[in-house]
Chain A
Amino acid sequence: MQDRLLPYWLLVPAFIIVLATTIYPLAYSFITSFRAWDLTKSRRPEGFVGIDNYIYAASESQFLNSLWVTFIFVITSVALTVVLAMALALLLRRKGPMHTFTRIILILPFAMSPALIGVSYRFMFNPEFGVLANGLGAVFPALQGVPWLADPQLAMGILVLTDVWHWTPYMTFMCLGGLASIPRETEEAARIDGASNLRIVFGIILPQMRGVILVMAVLKTIFALKMFDQVVTLTGGGPGTSTETLAYFIFNVGFRWFDMGYASALAWILTAIMMFISIWYVRMLLSERKMATA
């Protein structure tokens, strides 16, 4: 009897740690999202307000703006990263003399902290002394004196750029792994059958990469949804609120305006979006498996 219970007793410490570090904060924030809690007025959560926080979000323009900003950011950064990574992997997959070197170079951007990336791009696009701002101005005179980060569209573009720059190398590695698992003969057979290079890429290689591309797109989407670091260090959400992503907005609500109830509700909305995408992804992946094995 004791012997049978022993394993469960041994699990208790681990369970307590998980409870304390994960489940408790999650549950606490979930409950908080149904309460009013202005940190400037009270150190403890105030009364329950039902789903008022959520209802408020649905009509609040700043939240809707951040949702839209996040949407634009996710779409562009995911699409660019995946396409670029795939293209790079196709160029890099052959073993050339630069094989090892390119791979070392590739890993560098991913090893950098996103916050630091934001800072360095901010300097590089400084209209007065920024390397990139001046360099671009020198090459294309039309771009001289462009206030890069002061323009809503350009600021968003640069934000996307930093993210693509950060993530593309890692995704390239994923693509290289996927490409290596495609049987060489399928490509060679197509070559003999008379397919052009372009046709081989789109008709033979990419269809076999479907699973890998799906994994990449979903991973990248989830990370992009949480975009925060570069917003803080590069644009500060500006100009105006043009680069205010959902994660950044939640941070502002919670830690600038100290509206913890509303911030919790917003955080759970973000979580719900990510869960929805994850579930959709798992279903896609399962049907992919079925297609491949059934």
Chain B
Amino acid sequence: MAEVRLVDIEKKYGNFLAVPKQSLTIHDGEFLVLLGPSGCGKTTTMRMIAGLEDITSGDIMIKGERINDKPPKDRDIAMVFQNYGLYPHMTVRQNIEYPLKLRGMDKASRKDRVMETAEKVELDALLERRPSELSGGQRQRVALARAIVRTPSIFLMDEPLSNLDAKLRVTMRAELKHLHHELGVTTVYVTHDQMEAMTLASRVAVMREGRIVQLDTPKKIYAEPADLFVAGFIGSPSMNLIDGAVKGGVFRTDGVEVPVDLGDRDGVVLGIRPEELEITQDTDAAIGGKLYALELTGESTLVTLRNGPTSVCARGHADFEADIDSPCHLVPKDGARFHLFDRASGERLR
């Protein structure tokens, strides 16, 4: 178990700045998720922690010790690679066993440990196969097994569930969460899937173009996104972001009139989550327009209405039915939060 500290680290590939100078502390036993769109530097950050990538400047500390110059094997980490990185010439058993073998564990204990781990990820029936004889999901589970077969101080996982089908992904997510609870090992987990981040993380670091734009608990990030980018990235369906202006304490745009606690200002974006809106018959309601689309998701119906350039989505009752293009009105539920952002800078105003 270990605390990981990145101090003023920076990574350049030639002239390309992949990760600008920043710091990050990952607490002992924490499940930290690096979340961001593809190409934002998540893998690069993780590879720097693993020691697979030199850092251009800054320090990496594990358990308070500066490990910049330590080779990967001395950092006591285990890593799951985005594209598995399985040894193609070894069977599943040999793949899982390899880290134990290299660390000099005796044969009998190795065998038990491999079996135990394989059962945990449901690979016990496939131990004698080679990676080329496995499906994508099975390969990913081998990669996972190879990482958890040892109990290192830190787990590094680079999109370990990205190649699984939806159902297996949900199962494995719970499995990972349980595993973390059981082992309590500090984990850095990379994903571009906000749902995975929300469900797994102790804390989420949302990244954009190499920079961590917000670092907080999933709850806090959901409730109080630091800027427009985070607001749009977290939540499914994503937060409604409505362009408008505030005048006399009221946010106004086509079809929307909401009282807000903000001085007069142009170029304001109002954010409100679909699940905090409800459909009403009241024609004087805060938000009004024509029904644009209805999407049944099973437990609810997503209702989208439009008015001029404004488009607003609400999560309605699963039984809700209405004609497309008929007038439709929405009100914020009790206790709903309005988020206000500056259009130009993206910064949160309130």
Contact = CB atoms under 8 A, between A and B. Distances in A.
Contacts of B344: none
Contacts of B71: 191
Interface in A280-294: 291-294
Interface stretch (B96-104, B228-236, B266-274): B96-104
Contacts of B72: 188, 191-192
Given A194-B103, A195-B73, A195-B102, A189 B87 contact: yes
A189 B85 CA distance: 6
Interface residues of A, number: 20
B83 interface: yes
A183 interface: yes
Nearest to B85: A185
B81 A188 contact: yes
B339 interface: no
Nearest to B52: A188
Interface residues of B, number: 24
Contacts of B89: 207-208, 210
A144 interface: no
Nearest to B82: A185
Nearest to B143: A189
A215 interface: no
B99 to A, nearest CB: 4
Interface in B51-85: 52, 71-73, 77-79, 81, 83-85
A192 B88 contact: no
B83 A183 contact: yes
B50 A192 contact: yes
B224 to A, nearest CB: 37
B153 to A, nearest CB: 13
B22 interface: no
Contacts, number: 60
Interface in A150-207: 183, 185-186, 188-195, 199, 204, 207
Contact of B102 (A183, A185, A193): A193
Contacts of B98: 190, 193
B280 interface: no
Contacts of B133: 294
A190 B98 CA distance: 8
Contact of B81 (A189, A194, A204, A292): A189
Given A186-B85, A186-B87, A189-B81, A194 B73 contact: yes
B132 interface: yes
Contacts of B86: 186, 189
A281 B232 CA distance: 59
A292 B99 CA distance: 23
A188 B85 contact: yes
A254 B276 CA distance: 97
Contacts of A294: 132-133
B336 to A, nearest CB: 46
B315 interface: no
Nearest to B98: A193
A186 B102 contact: no
A294 B72 CA distance: 34
Nearest to A184: B85
A194 B71 CA distance: 9
Interface string A41-80: 0000000000000000000000000000000000000000
Nearest to A191: B72
Contacts of B130: 291
Nearest to B73: A194
A119 to B, nearest CB: 45
Contacts of A185: 81, 83-85
Most buried by A among B73, B87, B99, B132: B87
A193 B72 CA distance: 8
Interface in A185-238: 185-186, 188-195, 199, 204, 207-208, 210
Contact of A192 (B77, B83, B84): B77
B128 to A, nearest CB: 13
B348 to A, nearest CB: 39
A58 B72 CA distance: 61
Contacts of A190: 87, 98, 102
Contacts of A210: 89
Interface in A74-101: none
B146 interface: yes
Nearest to B74: A194
A207 B84 CA distance: 18
Contact of A189 (B103, B132, B146): B146
In the A-B complex, the 8 residue pairs with the closest CB atoms: A185-B85, A193-B99, A194-B102, A207-B89, A194-B73, A189-B85, A185-B81, A192-B72
Interface of B: 50, 52, 71-73, 77-79, 81, 83-89, 98-99, 102-103, 130, 132-133, 146
Given A185-B81, A189-B87, A294-B133, 5 more contacts: A186-B86, A188-B52, A188-B79, A190-B87, A193-B98
10 contacts: A188-B52, A188-B79, A188-B85, A190-B98, A190-B102, A191-B52, A192-B50, A192-B78, A192-B79, A194-B73
